[in-house]
A and B are shown apart, each in its own frame.
Chain A
Amino acid sequence: MSPSFKLRCRFILIFLVALRGESRYLELREAGDQDPFLLLSAHLKRELAGEPLYRRALRCLDMLSLRGQFTFTADRPQLHCAAFFISEPEEFITIYYDLVSIDCQGGDFLKVFDGWILKGEKFPSSQDHPLPTTERYIDFCESGLGRRSIRSSQNVAMIFFRVHEPGNGFTLTIRTVPNLFPCNVISQTPNGGFTLVVPHQYRNCSFSIIYPVMIKISDLTLGHLNGLQLKKPAAGCGGKGDFVELLGGSGLDPSKMMPLADLCYPFQGPAQMKIGCDNTVVRMVSSGKHINRVTFEYRQLEPYELENPNGNSIREFCLSGL
């Protein structure tokens, strides 16, 4: 085999590998996009490494979207408290017990829930989460400091706590860990965009937006074989195969929401829908045979848009439930 032919084969091989769907690994490793500090000198990095951890007091009802150390100290009996944690879609949340001073025998508790639960409705739903509901609760009074660090399975988590005695409390450190293929996500903002990728995984993934939104799906890929698009793509829907569904409802649990649209075939080019529900979910059902990808953008509906439904609008269903 001549050297030039070998060189050509190697180029073709590299080209084919680059076309595979797992190029997401490369996206995350680009220094400029992900971590601007990588562009700085070692000296500057050393200075910044000494930056103190963000600290503040935790409230009885609180929401945290940043890393740091948070301390709750009861100034009086606090019996019904919860704190929500939310990170970027591409991050897991790690909760670390620094200090816990509660009286478990006296009725205090501190529980971490893997996900969010609101009015009994869970995100992710029981169907989409790898653990049964009981195992999603980690009770400090049962596990103690034996399980000192807890990592979530998605970008949201929460804690429930009760402290009777003033002066008692706890300190947590919240950190984040990268998640290369986010599966279940709650959006922090009412406006934005996301690409949901499920590569050869037999799982269902949901992206939840807790606002009434106009959603525009620009790209849907269902099935991907050897770098080439299938001529007859995997036809889903009807409960079989791979597909994407749009859900709307007034609760948090995607399994209790109304399916508004099913996207069964790949397409390119925007398809938009106005969904006037409290919660909008883009859910991808994957068999694991293919690499599936859906790209979408969303923006919050203005009040006048909610009052004047026109075009492709599914407002009536959600408002009739109120």
Chain B
Amino acid sequence: MRLPLLVSAGVLLLALLPCPPCRALLIRGPVPGARQAPQLPQPLDFFQPLGRQVLPVQPVPLTTGEEYFFRQGNLNESPAAPLWSASSPLARRSSSHLSPHKAAANFFRALRQLRSLPQRPLNSPASPTERGAESALSGRQEALEKERRSKETTTSLDLTFHILREVLKMANAEKLAQQAESNRKLMEIVGK
């Protein structure tokens, strides 16, 4: 008599408690800290010239497999473009082509793609308990990932060697001019 009662109580408990095997399924994915294979959109996908939008949000760093570029939370924003002069058309383009909500939605969609969030198997529909646990775990995982990425963020500049050489040439000319000015002052002092 007691045995069936105990068995049924145990089954009831198991049904109500969170399921460890389910948690293992949810954590299926890249191990934090491990090197991830870059299954990402090509960096060129981010260079769509759809205009840039200034979002009043904290910068959220993204890594694109090779820790390549720093994004400001907008997929359609071009990377740090070589804004050499204030008259550059890219510099003046500040009108937004996307609403903040759409841009943010794009950003989070890409964020999920980049982080390769764990997928639930198709043949196991999620129960409310599972979905709640899943969202809590994904939120925790997202926070961990965000913290890891913030440490791995690399800021870079897209500049061709041609432009780099041009600015280097100008810098050298400036240095020569400054040296000539110093020499002139020196000769003035020496000549006194």
Contact = CB atoms under 8 A, between A and B. Distances in A.
B167 A62 contact: yes
Nearest to B168: A63
Interface in B141-192: 151-159, 161, 164-165, 167-168, 170-172, 174-175, 178, 182, 185-186, 189-190
Given A61-B82, A120-B68, A278-B161, A84 B58 contact: no
A211 B59 contact: no
Interface stretch (A18-26, A44-52, A227-235, A268-276): A44-52
Contacts of A66: 171, 174-175, 178
B151 A134 contact: yes
B76 interface: no
Contact of A211 (B80, B165, B172): B165
Interface in A79-120: 79-82, 84, 86, 106-107, 109, 111, 113, 117-120
B69 interface: yes
Contacts of A51: 182, 185
A268 B17 CA distance: 79
B167 A84 contact: yes
A64 B69 CA distance: 24
Interface of A: 44, 47-48, 51, 54, 60-66, 77-82, 84, 86, 106-107, 109, 111, 113, 117-120, 133-134, 137, 158, 160, 164, 188-189, 210-211, 250, 278-279
Given A65-B171, A82-B80, A160-B155, 15 more contacts: A44-B190, A51-B182, A61-B84, A63-B168, A65-B172, A66-B175, A80-B79, A80-B80, A80-B83, A82-B157, A117-B154, A137-B155, A164-B54, A188-B171, A210-B164
A80 B155 CA distance: 10
Contacts of A60: 83, 86, 91
The 9 closest A-B CB pairs, nearest first, are A63-B167, A80-B80, A63-B171, A120-B68, A65-B171, A66-B175, A278-B161, A82-B157, A160-B155
Contacts of A211: 165
A120 B161 CA distance: 13
Contacts of A133: 67, 154
A46 B58 CA distance: 50
Contacts of A80: 79-81, 83, 157
Contacts of B45: none
User: How many B residues are at the interface, by size bracket?
Assistant: 35 or more
Contact of A188 (B58, B81, B172): B172
Contacts of B52: 79
B156 A119 contact: yes
A302 B140 CA distance: 58
Contacts of A82: 80, 157
A118 B189 contact: no
Contact of A65 (B80, B91, B175): B175
A154 B76 CA distance: 36
Given A118-B157, A137-B154, A188 B182 contact: no
19 contacts: A44-B189, A44-B190, A60-B91, A61-B82, A63-B164, A63-B170, A63-B171, A65-B172, A66-B174, A79-B52, A79-B54, A86-B171, A111-B155, A117-B155, A117-B157, A118-B157, A160-B80, A160-B155, A210-B161
B161 A250 contact: yes
Given A54-B178, A77-B54, A278-B161, A120 B171 contact: no
B57 interface: yes
A189 B189 contact: no
